[in-house]
Structure 1
Amino acid sequence: MTALEFEIIGEGTLVSVEVTHMYNAGYAGRDQAAVKHHIDELAELGVPAPTTTPSLYPVSSYLARQSDRVEAQHERTSGEAEWGIVIVGPGEDDVLLTVACDHTDRALEVHGVAWSKNAGPDMLGRRAWRLSSLAGRADDLRLRAWVGAERTLIQDGRVGELLSPQYWLEVLAERGERQEGVALISGTIPMIAGVDQFSDRWEVELLDESTGESSVVRYDVDRMPTPIG
């Protein structure tokens, strides 16, 4: 389990939770025809197609992280701009929405997406909204990512491009898993063509343009030492 702490936007209060179950959504765009096209593109790169879409991958709860550093075993790892929901209690006001970045092992991805999701951390922001406080405008939140020290834009979209937090809350409820300590991140939006994702720095922002409030995760990617043996 991992202990996380969030500053609640609009309140200034702090909420703590121990993550007991962690999930990664995949192939979770609302336009499933575009998702099918993306799956076909990945297949050409050797990434196996999912058996169903959208997909949901359980990952180890200790992969939920709030940190400024990721250790990578090789040079073919990268992040993904996502949002995350974290359930911190039993009530309707106890679902938090924050920014997330799924740091994925791309070399392992060709052998199994679920394996690759368990090979890197899920980085979560330190600020979050109560989902109920967004009054139906969650879809309008802007989701962006930059790479490198020069902050090259690599992703730019909206929460509404992805299946909604409410969709996944209903999936969790159907599975009997909508409970305190459960966290889920959303799957990602398309990357901008021609930008190198294999960077030593990732930054992702979830921005409410109507208020200027945001949640940001930034981290450096450090290569681990060469193993012996």
Structure 2
Amino acid sequence: MHLRFNTDSNGAAVLDFEVTQLVIAGWVGRDRDAVLHHIRELAALGVPAPGAVPLFYRVAVQQLSQQSALEVVGDQTSGEAEPFVFFHRGEYWVSLVSDHTDRHLETFSVALSKQACVKPVAQQAWRMADVRAHWDRLELRAWIHVNGDWVTYQQGTLAALLTLDDLLQRYFAGQPVPEGFAMSCGTLSALGGIRPASQFRMALHDPVLNRTLEHAYTTTALPVVA
């Protein structure tokens, strides 16, 4: 799967990236008690508990898209803003992705619910080397469009999530990271609870270097027929 990123503010520098492996990291909160509490909350809604914490879901690379208009099946899907880290020519880069998920299917299989939906990716990226020292200060935020207004849906810093180094160590166990590897690095809780919305905006703000990665997309629901 081919993705293209602008790597400076004026769009003059472009990075072309071929994704060969996509992993979505789930249950990555640093506060283990809070993660377990969230697992119990979702279990009460019928969502199966993960087999491990954190848990890594492999998703087909063709599910990534940088388009702003997507189609989904049914009206029970919703986005989740996440840092998107990828390995290209010996270094890591940071962008932004929405782990758009089918919430009805999630009650049967979390893995299948993630595979069922396209994952929108921003068109900008930063060098990981430029943000690694202040990674925890990066601010992740998302909004949904409800009744004509944009409502804050997620908000917090990456200090709430396991670090990239921790996730890579758990996933690769010391083995080399291959060219083309990409990981969606976990999300923050939804303010007011997880709920569907056909318009989604997300941002990753760097308060130290004063810059922001942004992406917005809409979803059109296809009919569920049997």
Range into which the TM-score falls when normalised by the shorter chain: over 0.9
Which residue is equivalent to 2:222?
224
Does structure 2 conserve the Cα–Cα contact (< 8 Å) formed by 1:16 and 1:88?
Answer: no
Which residue is equivalent to 2:44?
44
> Distance in 2 between the 1:176 and 1:211 partners?
32
Displacement after TM superposition at 1:175 (Å): 6.7
Using the size of structure 2 for normalisation, the TM-score is 0.92
> Distance in 2 between the 1:219 and 1:27 partners?
25
Which residue is equivalent to 1:160?
159
> Distance in 2 between the 1:132 and 1:95 partners?
7
Which blocks of at least 5 consecutive residues in structure 2 are unaligned? Answer: none
- C-alpha RMSD of matched pairs (Å): 1.8
1:135-188 deviation line (CA, Å, top 9, x unaligned): 411111100000015221011011111111222233344274611111110121
> Distance in 2 between the 1:204 and 1:51 partners?
29
1:4-56 deviation line (CA, Å, top 9, x unaligned): 01111479521111111111110111111100000000000000001110000
How do 1:39-78 and structure 2 match up within 5 A?
Answer: 39-78=39-78
2:112 matches 1:108: no
Which residue is equivalent to 1:126?
123
Using the size of structure 1 for normalisation, the TM-score is 0.91
2:198 matches 1:213: no
Does structure 2 conserve the Cα–Cα contact (< 8 Å) formed by 1:104 and 1:120?
Answer: yes
Q: Judging changes above 3 Å, is the alpha-carbon distance between structure 1 residues 174 and 12 closer, same or farther for their aligned structure 2 residues?
A: farther
Which residue is equivalent to 1:22?
22
Q: Judging changes above 3 Å, is the alpha-carbon distance between structure 1 residues 209 and 201 closer, same or farther for their aligned structure 2 residues?
A: same
Which residue is equivalent to 2:4?
5
Does structure 2 conserve the Cα–Cα contact (< 8 Å) formed by 1:147 and 1:197?
Answer: no
How do 1:143-154 and structure 2 match up within 5 A?
Answer: 143-148=140-145, 150-154=149-153
Q: How many residues align?
A: 223
Which residue is equivalent to 1:190?
189
* Regions of 4+ moved over 6 Å: none
* 1:58 maps to amino acid: R
Does structure 2 conserve the Cα–Cα contact (< 8 Å) formed by 1:172 and 1:178?
Answer: no
Q: Judging changes above 3 Å, is the alpha-carbon distance between structure 1 residues 226 and 86 closer, same or farther for their aligned structure 2 residues?
A: same
